[in-house]
Amino acid sequence: MTAPDLPPRPVGRVVATELKPATPHQFFFWTATESPIGIGAIVRSDGPGRTVYGVVTDGFAYSDLVTPLHDVIGADGDPAAAQDAPTARAEIRLYAAAVLRQVPEEPLQPVPLGPVHLATDADVVAALRMDAYTEGERPTGVPVGVYRAGGLEAPVYLDADFLLGPEAAHCNITGVSGLATKTSAVEFLLASIFQTFPAHRGTVAALCFNVKGPDLCFLDQPTELSDEDRRVYERLGLAPEPFRQVTYFAPHKPDGVNLNTLRTHEALAANTEPLVWGLREVLEYAEVLLNRDDLDAKADAFIDFLADRVVGRTYEDPLLRDAPFQVETFADLEEFFRAIFDYVEALGRGSEVWKTHHVATIRKVRNRLGNIGTRSKGLVTDDGPAHDLPWGRFEDRSVTVLDVAGLDPLAQDLVFARVISKLREHLERRDLGVDHVMVFVDELNKYAATDGPESYVKKMLLDLSERGRYLGLVLFSAQQFRSQVHRRVVGNAGTAIYGRMDMDELATPGYGTLSAATKIKLATLPKGELMVRHPHFTQPIFVRFPRPAVLSGREGVARFPPAPELPFADAVARQLRALDPAVTADAVRALVEGRREEDVRQALHATRRTRPEGVLAFFRACLGRTVRPEVPPPRRGVPALRRAEDPYAP
Amino acid sequence: MPDLTALGRALAAAGLTPARGLPDASEGRAEEAAVRPARLVEHPALETRAVGPAEPWPGVVAFLDGVQRHAVAAYAGSAPLILAEVAAGVRERRERVLRTAQVRRRRLALGRPAVLEIAAAALPDHDPVPIPAEEPLHPVRDLVAARRAVDQARGALEVELGERYLRDAPGWLVVDGSLSESPALASSPRALGVAKSHATLPFEGGDLDRYLRLPAGHRTSVFAPASRSVAPVYGWALRLWPWEGRDLLHGLVRVEAAPTEETLGLADRLSRWILRERAPLSTPDPRWDRLLYGIHDVEVFLRVGRQPVMISP
């Protein structure tokens, strides 16, 4: 503890009356009116043959005043005179504490009467059962913050086995917006995991969805920390440093070259990659699009047909056309659809089926797939190969951020569904590159709402919550209103973290187990303080965590202002400069002048994908020879006939 | 049941003062109720005067009180064995907070010498207090004698602690009851007795009327009670709360201080201090109208800290 010279004087004494008896799970103790005890303080009570640890959940104060009227009489009806009473009334400070642990654990008995002490460092370890996982040869403790009370301070650890699996898993964070609680907490916790996750438990990586603003856009940039924050880092045994290995992925804007993210400052371009998917990637997860409307099993079957037989393959159907179809892009797919419709129309009235698929179903699927191309322009490309996450090459202690803040909700769903599914597939096959992946999703009440429609994303989140831990796929989720998130998602989170809460939210039944005092504390929790539930902790514990050692979104945007949206050629030049700083805008402008934008995009994607030595030369080679359009000479026309009877003729 | 309100109005119309019964413990030892005429020392005739607005007590002040409890625990033949506990305490007030300055407790075993001899082995932590055995055995009479002995033991403890406090500490000492049990207390310039019971009254006739019908916030002239006790004191009556509509003794206390010229000069000021001590009310004690909160606090402290009176197995 930080105050080793503190005398071991009791701060209170357990009392039990018929109306307020001590039980195996709760006890009451009184203290002096001036005492360091507060809601959330951890205390130790020593009784005969038994030590009990508890956390203060409520407090009471009362005097020997029988009725308020007696105070009025005593003060002659003058409130000012009441303050002048020569003797202060006898007053009690009585606290209720919930039992955290009893030693010995058996037989479980009511808390004996005895002196109450503030918990010391060792007491906190024992009270929270942290001795089971922070000591020994293979510790699995992950610092989550420091517990503070009465000038004492003790680190609090979570058990990695219960945070990342396999015993329990997932972490859910709740807190009001605007206090940086959720984002800061998850940033700190991820950093803590990366620094302390034991090697004997395997490798770990994080994948974060940035769903709003610049929140997670600067995880690789250091920030200024106060001395106090640095001290807390030291107390927790952590290094106050930003994440070392971060890769950002963001879709393009509709122009296909400017990135749709706030992380567009040139100094940050080196690890900011475009996220571009093609028809194949979209079609694999078309179910995401289907459940948004009333598309039926027939449409589902047709999409399966497309995915299995057509897209990415050579499809031959002499009835449609002589040449085989090679469907790789949305444009190819449109051509394929066109051929079907032409065929059906040619058959005439009464023929509305092609290969058992009704033409209406085919039209629905065509519209839906076309819709994603339109609404997700920038994410979905029609003119080039995909640029995807490094599946199979995830590295230990790496962070991958998918910035989908600027995407249409439908496209966000698509990204979410595909990425989670791919993670799951790779983890099942054990070929992702790491053993555990923490997926951070904010605004969970949007993706897994209690009363929202059944969506593919929600089903996926439920599946992830319930079965992800066996795979090493761990959900770190956050939301403002926990009560609005599907119970099975938050219920499966082994660890729950609460920042400052809204009183209306606290009034919902999900918080019924918290005392009124704990709710008040939660509603007024200062920045940097959290309430933590963890399987090893019998009761929620309040901890303080230091500021994350990375730039906040607001700071990051101020220090690295997003680059303005550039004209097409300049945007291409910027992307090429990320590969080779020697590339000049003028050179790129000269190269792309007169070229079709699709061709330029293809060349750019190829260059990014290949990352050649000579960037500009490779790009030039990809563009190919310039074919100047021939301008046909003007044809000599036939002079108009002049008619005399036409008075208006020229 | 008669309509008491209407009855009261009728009695008032007939020239009487309606009342609602004696306040708790105001009669003291009722069997000793008497008038013992006092000697006026402040004025030639008994006067009443307003003491002025209440004012705070300067500096440190302490409160002294004692408690007692007794019960018949056994009989040796027909002779009772009474066990008692007496305690006294001084609680000192600093910055509005009362804290224990001194406390002492005694366990007593009372009975005829022969009874005490038989019980001695079973009561190792009780002080034996013999009661007279000259008279023929009568359990009730022995019980009265034992109660008197317990009173005396408690009084002796109070005196002991009071004298010690005045000797060792600089503050004023407010004593529950009379100062005249101790020459040291009675002569101290920093001791004040506040008696709640009025079994012994210092005047008769018209002076008694003036004494008992004292208005709220008023005091009587200072007088020297004709006490049977060991030390002379000066005293005066002080009305803490309006009595009209309640009882003559409601809110009436007898204040005692050292029998000196300084006391005569301080009587009004001391009275104003005591008036200030009306708050906070010492409710739920039924004697709240005369019981100062500081005294009440000492009493509560002593009562909750006492040990049960029982025979050791």
DSSP assignment of A123-186 = HHHHHTTTHHHHSSSS--EEEEEEEEETTEEEEEEEEHHHHBSSSSB-EEEE--TTS-HHHHHH
How many Å apart are CA A114 and CA A132, to the nearest integer?
A: 27
Report whether pLDDT(B22) > 50: yes
Distance to chain A for B13, nearest Cα, Å: 30
Chain A CB contacts of B294 under 8 Å are 87
A32 touching chain B per CB within 8 A: no
Average pLDDT over every residue of B45-54: 95
- Residue A564, token pair as written in the block: 């303005």
- Residue A112, token pair as written in the block: 């004996």
Q: How far is CA A304 from the centre of its chain?
A: 31
Chain B CB contacts of A74 under 8 Å are 278-281
- Check the CA dihedral A481-A487-A492-A495 and report its sign: positive
B280 and A71 within 8 Å at the Cβ level: the answer is yes
How many Å apart are CA A25 and CA A538, to the nearest integer?
A: 10
Q: Which of A587, A591, A589, A584 has its CA nearest to residue A626?
A: A591
Q: Residue A522, class by beta-carbon neighbours within 10 Å (0-12 exposed, 13-18 middle, 19+ buried)?
A: buried
B300 and A85 within 8 Å at the Cβ level: the answer is no
B277 and A87 within 8 Å at the Cβ level: the answer is yes
How many Å apart are CA B298 and CA A145, to the nearest integer?
A: 47
B97 and A66 within 8 Å at the Cβ level: the answer is no
How many interchain CB pairs under 8 A, A with B? Answer: 53
Pairing, β B252-257 against β B191-195 = antiparallel
Pairing, β B97-111 against β B79-94 = antiparallel
B281 and A74 within 8 Å at the Cβ level: the answer is yes
Instruction: Could you list the beta-strand ranges (E) of A17-160.
Output: 26-31, 42-47, 50-63, 91-103, 115-118, 141-149, 152-159
Confidence (pLDDT) at A385: 67
Confidence (pLDDT) at A364: 85
Question: pLDDT by residue (tens digit) across A521-560?
Answer: 999 999 889 999 999 999 999 999 999 999 999 899 999 9
- Grouping H, G, I as helix, E, B as strand and the rest as coil, residue A52 is strand
Confidence (pLDDT) at A380: 84
Distance to chain B for A74, nearest Cα, Å: 5
φ and ψ at residue A574, rounded to 5 degrees: -65, -40
**Residues of chain A falling short of pLDDT 50:** 1-4, 6, 649-650
B98 touching chain A per CB within 8 A: yes
Chosen from B293, B295, B299, B301 to mutate, greatest number of chain A CBs within 10 A: B293
Report whether pLDDT(B11) > 80: no
Distance to chain A for B312, nearest Cα, Å: 23
B89 touching chain A per CB within 8 A: no
- Residue A102, token pair as written in the block: 């009893």
Mean pLDDT, rounded, of chain B: 90
How many Å apart are CA A357 and CA A477, to the nearest integer?
A: 41
Chain B CB contacts of A73 under 8 Å are 281
Confidence (pLDDT) at A294: 52
Report whether pLDDT(B32) > 50: yes
Neighbours of A361 (CB within 10 A): 22
Confidence (pLDDT) at A136: 84
Q: Is A567 left (phi over 0), alpha (psi -120 to 50) or beta?
A: beta
Angle at B41 between CA B40 and CA B45, to 5 degrees: 45
Chain B CB contacts of A70 under 8 Å are 280-281, 283, 288
Angle at B183 between CA B178 and CA B188, to 5 degrees: 80
B304 touching chain A per CB within 8 A: no
Confidence (pLDDT) at B312: 31
- pTM comes to 0.79
B93 and A86 within 8 Å at the Cβ level: the answer is yes
Distances (CA, A) of A290 to A143, A269, A463, A631, B182: 43, 36, 19, 47, 100
Confidence (pLDDT) at A2: 44
φ and ψ at residue A252, rounded to 5 degrees: -80, 165
Instruction: Could you list the beta-strand ranges (E) of A517-606.
Output: 529-533, 541-544
How many Å apart are CA A211 and CA A437, to the nearest integer?
A: 19
φ and ψ at residue A13, rounded to 5 degrees: -145, 135
Chain A CB contacts of B278 under 8 Å are 74
Confidence (pLDDT) at A293: 56
- Residue A259, token pair as written in the block: 């990135």
Q: Which of the 8 DSSP states describes residue A449?
A: B
Candidate from A80-89, A537-546, B3-12, B172-181 with smallest mean pLDDT: B3-12
B293 and A87 within 8 Å at the Cβ level: the answer is yes
Q: Which of A73, A86, A90 sits opposite B57 (nearest CB)?
A: A86
B172 touching chain A per CB within 8 A: no
How many Å apart are CA A505 and CA A490, to the nearest integer?
A: 15
A267 touching chain B per CB within 8 A: no
